Chains A and B, each alone.
Chain A
């Protein structure tokens, strides 16, 4: 059974149609990259998957693990194993990173019928995960994202992902604003979580991230549609020739799949 099936997805924000018929299938174990110029609908796609109310789905359906994703509230989706790494992670003053994650993990475990973790066990568990993203232990007790640098915020997202152990992870431009060192750490974190049961949808503007997180599939989004799909070679072509090359190449703008 596929993990994620998006069929003819149309979505709008502020009454403007942004996604104009997206089809995408993701199976467990796969890493899909979604690329596209600004305004193509990349973030809208991520937000619709996460369940942000401001984005209205006008047509189409999304099946996640065989269930109707659009009928699920955002926290339900999270508890079913869908994780999104935000492009702009917000700050949550007064709530420590560790406390927040424990609450989140236990909400997910409770949903799965598992026992909640107590503070001691959680701390041990979390310390292991911190090593993956080379996270400083001091960031554990700071309020979520408060005073974090851009790079620290993005690493914190990956840290959250590793703690919450998702089935499908959507990374919304995780590489934006990162220098090469931070990028490598983030990529290493993601790669360490690649497994048979897990899938990734990596949304990115630049090809560079894909040198480190090597995708199985690459899809290009243009004006709200997937216009081209391929493997990692497609990303390299785009890097070389630019998005406008693709636009010209498409002629009438018909979707083309490899």
Chain B
């Protein structure tokens, strides 16, 4: 008997569930509060092995002994950790808005401007998509190509179940649970994230994007990602999306660990546009407190962090590199925008351990409105780090008169053979510059765009191409109306 359309649909839907959605969920959401029982429940719901539960509990117990850090240059209402719900079932098809008509027009406007195709818009907004064929079939072909190359790219939950030994070997090796307050919390309650493993000598055949991980929309607020690159392998990973993302959960405390073995290269690019809060009052935005660290473990390993951050009410993150292998390389390229009432305290740490290591830091901070942008960077050259080299450049741009830019560079050199270069600049887009552009025939929006793009050029050049195009557009949209 020929298959009816309904049969085909049901088959596809079943496949989708198989690929990563949790099948049995008793409750939609756990009541708020955090204790050992909550953690046991989370672990049980995810069908985790015993070692994983123990790992979580150990982290939780340690977290209880820690105090929340307050040294960052940001102000926020104290977080009540007992009022957060630590588990929410992934949204099923019936949960979202009925159609795009029910979605906030402001969000739709941004989708249009970013050139996001209609079907994708529905997906992003959580509207049930009738024909899932396209997204499932694309993801399937993608997975086939990766499988051929021996690359593992799946959700963290799946990895814990299917590749337990690998995960266990590397999890927490770069960011141990005791590392900091938020890392400990994440280790205890992390919901999901990505796991990537590139075998020896393999150049991953395509850029890995979180979009292709079917669970992408439901990672929740405690994302945990682990990328392992074996000897001589290469991978480029894209995180996030330019579309504005809302979430009822205000606190996001993610952990990303990168492990790069000898002669391997990991490039990790992020475009972040979480809801920044109300432009007038600053209320309701996401708090993005992230620990990202890469360990260049082997000789000539290379780790590059590239980020464009325009969202979140508060961004607190320092993607860092530990340059352990001799001649290993660490890079950090960042554009961070703070406007409205956003606050960002972000930067990087480059720790030179091995010999002949080098690091490059290029940070571009843009402040507008009442935004406060702080760059905090640390370059540490340890005693045994012979012939280390570092180049740091942190530039701030102020748009208007009510915003702020702050720079806290820390340099700790314990080996006299180190070569350090540090440059910093502050510039302002004031009415004078805009008027000058106007007088030459260039409109105000175009002028601001042009000036900001010029300012961010060096960072955009490091982004994978499609990301760069989207990032430019995102910055343009984010800057609309900033020059009064």
Contact = CB atoms under 8 A, between A and B. Distances in A.
A92 B437 contact: yes
Contacts of B419: none
Nearest to A105: B441
Interface string A92-131: 1111100111011101100100000000000000000000
B89 to A, nearest CB: 47
Interface string B408-447: 0000000000000000010100001101111111111010
B439 A103 contact: no
Interface stretch (A14-22, A73-81, A221-229, A234-242): A73-81
A103 B446 CA distance: 9
Contact of A94 (B435, B439, B442, B451): B451
A95 B450 contact: yes
Contacts of A77: 439
A101 B437 CA distance: 10
A93 B441 contact: no
Given A78-B441, A111-B441, A100 B450 contact: yes
A164 B437 CA distance: 13
Contact of B441 (A86, A90, A143, A164): A164
A82 to B, nearest CB: 8
Nearest to B457: A94
A40 to B, nearest CB: 22
B391 interface: no
A11 interface: no
Contacts of A83: 439
B82 to A, nearest CB: 47
A99 B442 CA distance: 12
Contact of A74 (B439, B450, B451, B457): B439
B454 A104 contact: no
Interface residues of A, number: 32
B442 A75 contact: yes
B440 A160 contact: yes
Contact of B438 (A51, A94, A96, A111): A51
B440 A94 contact: no
Contacts of B454: 92-96, 99, 143
Contact of A107 (B427, B432, B433, B442): B442
B457 to A, nearest CB: 7
A86 B443 CA distance: 18
A104 B438 CA distance: 9
B368 to A, nearest CB: 16
A46 to B, nearest CB: 11
Contacts of A160: 440
B441 A75 contact: yes
A83 B432 CA distance: 16
Contacts of A164: 440-441
A193 B454 CA distance: 31
B446 A74 contact: no
Contacts of B435: 50, 52, 74
A210 B436 CA distance: 26
Contacts of A104: 437, 440-442
B455 interface: yes
A52 B431 CA distance: 10
A181 B438 CA distance: 30
A105 B437 CA distance: 11
B451 A95 contact: yes
Interface in B323-377: none
29 contacts: A50-B439, A75-B438, A75-B441, A75-B442, A77-B439, A78-B439, A78-B441, A79-B441, A83-B439, A86-B436, A89-B436, A90-B432, A90-B436, A91-B433, A92-B433, A92-B454, A93-B451, A93-B454, A94-B453, A99-B454, A100-B437, A103-B442, A103-B446, A103-B450, A105-B441, A107-B443, A111-B441, A160-B440, A164-B440
Considering the complex of A and B, which 9 residue pairs feature the smallest CB-CB distances, nearest first? A94-B454, A74-B438, A104-B440, A78-B441, A95-B454, A107-B441, A94-B455, A75-B438, A108-B441
Interface of A: 50-52, 73-75, 77-79, 83-84, 86, 89-96, 99-101, 103-105, 107-108, 111, 143, 160, 164
Given A75-B441, A92-B437, A107-B440, 15 more contacts: A75-B437, A78-B438, A78-B439, A78-B440, A86-B436, A86-B439, A89-B436, A90-B432, A92-B433, A92-B436, A92-B451, A93-B425, A93-B427, A100-B450, A103-B446
